[in-house]
């Protein structure tokens, strides 16, 4: 199935929107499952999706622990003396955060099926200001860079002789916390350099730029978009009633 | 027995049909400096990544210190073999230059005073002292290269693999690096230098392996072998 980039964008927005709206593990798991199913319809193999999400795992583990510890509530599952460490409330919050990020990251995989050029073209044809379209495309470009960066760092850390798998979790958390900002900042620097080198090669969107090619929405695109939008709106309406 | 031993090692990147390396046989000792030379795209970087387990061979076997490489964790390999990547950006991940140098030692439980002493030594030797608290990725290409090398050397691994270590270094810094590497070689540490830099290779290497189109084209041989004497 060859869909217009804009149709895929609508799908990503719908899925991410639902992921941000829902706040129980069950609902989020469902949205995640739908996202994965969609990706499989677009010929992504399960193993490819797994490989794509794997580098995010350490970040998720970090967030899961943070959420567990800092959003208490419900029954206490694990305590260090009088201090509750893991509660049902905290655990469910943590699982929600992780599922939400996985869903958004997985949905964004759809963006890898078309070029950033097509993406900007699609948005500009929808009268989105070109600066905004360009910025969004850079942000999307950032995601895979960030993922590759995380897996590079995990490798580099181990090659310095640190046995990541055997580090006790408390120290591992301290390590991740120490590396978190340098890695995020470093990735931003690199993504920025990437954007600069793209512009240097003449890739730029000008206000009165003319386009050789036009994207056309086909019947299938409109049908898929409608189904996505209508079902999302219905789910949102249901959520608030 | 060689420290690092490759037997009929082949490799192709997933989803690309073409073989990058074909049946490489190579035995390296811990007491010599080997250069791997050859044209761009010849497979030098790929070969060294296989040696440290970052990539797995699609055929053949690699042994490190007599044991199959597959039986080691990345951390265990990292403590034996120091690896400096071709691109320093992929191996700098700390918040400051000093932390970067001390990272391996700190996380392997060395005493803070001792770590500090080593940090100071490497900052001085590689003339990075003024950048002590600078964010590593803000450094220039040559400074990043020196930092990446310093951070690996600070771990004092048994064996070193440096992929294009002279890229981005000026003549004076190249000489400093060559002096230092020769000094640690005399202390019994072996190393592999992947390099295009012929004067550097000519000056440093005791053995030269030329790689082209994924095959060993020539090998001056191990110390003591007839080929080496010739
Ligand atoms: N990550 C990768 N994925 C696919 N192909 C690669 C990758 N890295 C290198 N190659 C290919 O493998 C071949 C050997 O590359 P490389 O080992 O980097 O050579 P060298 O270091 O000698 O210049 C080249 O043809 C290159 O295009
Ligand atoms: Mg190379």
Q: Looking at the CA of B15, name the nearest ligand.
A: 1
What domains are defined for chain B? 4-219 (3.40.50.300)
> Cβ atoms within 10 A of the Cβ of B107, count?
20
A48 touches chain B (CB under 8 A): no
pLDDT of B128: 94
Look up the pTM and report it. 0.71
Encode pLDDT of B187-212 as tens digits.
888 999 999 888 899 889 999 999 99
Answer yes or no: is pLDDT of B175 > 60.
yes
Domain spans of chain A, in order of start: 1-114, 115-210
If one compares A199 and B63, the residue with the highest pLDDT of the two is B63
Q: What is the mean pLDDT of chain B?
A: 90
Chain B residues with CB-CB distance to A163 below 8 A: 73, 75-76
CA distance B20 to A239: 54
**Model confidence at A211: pLDDT above 70:** no
Averaged pLDDT, A68-72: 73
A204 pLDDT tier (thresholds 50, 70, 90): low
Ligand that lies nearest to the alpha carbon of residue B21, given by its number in the listed order: 1
Look at residue B229 in the predicted model and tell me its pLDDT: 40
Share of chain A above pLDDT 70, in %: 87
Contacts of residues B147-150 at CB distance under 8 Å and 24 or more positions apart, as own/partner, are B147/B88, B147/B92, B147/B97, B147/B100, B147/B101, B148/B84, B148/B85, B148/B88, B148/B91, B148/B92, B149/B84, B149/B177, B150/B101, B150/B122, B150/B123, B150/B125, B150/B126
ipTM score: 0.86
B81-138, pLDDT tens digit by residue? 999 999 898 899 999 999 999 999 998 889 999 999 999 999 999 999 999 999 999 9
Ligand 1 nearest-atom number relative to CA B194: 21
- The alpha-carbon gap from A152 to the nearest alpha carbon of chain B, in Å, equals 6
pLDDT per position as a tens digit, A108-134: 888 777 776 777 777 777 777 777 777
């Amino acid at each position: 199935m060859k869909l217009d980039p804009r149709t895929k964008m609508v799908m990503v927005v719908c899925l991410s929107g639902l992921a941000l709206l829902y706040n129980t593990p069950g609902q989020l798991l469902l949205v995640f499952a739908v996202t994965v199913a969609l990706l499989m319809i677009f010929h992504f193999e399960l193993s490819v999706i797994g490989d794509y999400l794997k580098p995010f795992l350490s970040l998720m583990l970090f967030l899961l622990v943070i959420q567990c510890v800092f959003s208490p509530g419900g029954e206490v599952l694990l305590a260090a003396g009088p201090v509750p460490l893991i509660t049902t409330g905290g655990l469910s919050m943590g699982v929600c955060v992780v599922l939400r990020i996985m869903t958004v990251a997985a949905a964004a995989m759809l963006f890898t099926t078309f070029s950033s050029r097509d993406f900007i073209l699609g948005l500009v044809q929808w009268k989105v200001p070109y600066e905004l379209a360009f910025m969004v495309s850079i942000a999307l470009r950032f995601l895979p860079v960030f993922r590759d960066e995380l897996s590079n760092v995990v490798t580099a850390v181990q090659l310095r002789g640190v046995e990541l798998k055997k580090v006790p979790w408390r120290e591992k958390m301290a390590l991740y916390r120490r590396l978190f900002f340098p890695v995020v900042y470093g990735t931003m620097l690199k993504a920025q350099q990437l954007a600069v080198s793209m512009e240097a090669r003449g890739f730029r969107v000008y206000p009165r730029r003319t386009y050789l090619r036009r994207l056309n929405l086909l019947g299938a695109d409109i049908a898929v978009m409608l189904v996505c939008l209508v079902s999302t709106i219905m789910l949102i309406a249901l959520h608030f009633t | 027995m060689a420290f690092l031993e490759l037997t009929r090692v082949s490799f192709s990147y997933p989803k690309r049909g073409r073989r990058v390396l074909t049946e490489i046989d190579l035995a390296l000792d811990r007491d010599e400096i080997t250069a791997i030379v050859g044209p761009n795209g010849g497979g030098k970087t790929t070969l060294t990544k296989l040696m440290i387990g970052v990539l797995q061979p699609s055929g053949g076997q690699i042994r490190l210190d007599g044991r199959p490489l597959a039986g080691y964790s990345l951390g265990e390999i990292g403590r034996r073999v120091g690896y400096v990547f071709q691109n320093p950006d992929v191996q700098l991940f700390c918040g400051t230059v000093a932390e970067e140098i001390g990272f391996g030692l700190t996380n392997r439980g060395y005493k803070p005073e001792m770590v500090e002493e080593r940090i100071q030594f490497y900052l001085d030797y590689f003339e990075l002292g003024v950048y002590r608290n600078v964010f590593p990725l803000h450094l220039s290409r040559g400074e990043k290269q020196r930092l990446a090398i310093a951070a690996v050397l600070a771990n004092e691994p048994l064996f070193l693999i440096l992929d294009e270590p002279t890229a981005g270094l000026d003549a004076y810094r190249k000489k400093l690096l060559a002096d230092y590497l020769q000094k640690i070689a005399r202390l019994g540490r072996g190393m592999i230098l992947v390099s295009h830099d012929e004067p550097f290779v000519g000056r440093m290497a005791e053995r030269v392996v030329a790689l082209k189109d994924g095959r060993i084209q020539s090998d001056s041989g191990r110390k003591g072998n007839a080929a080496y004497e010739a």
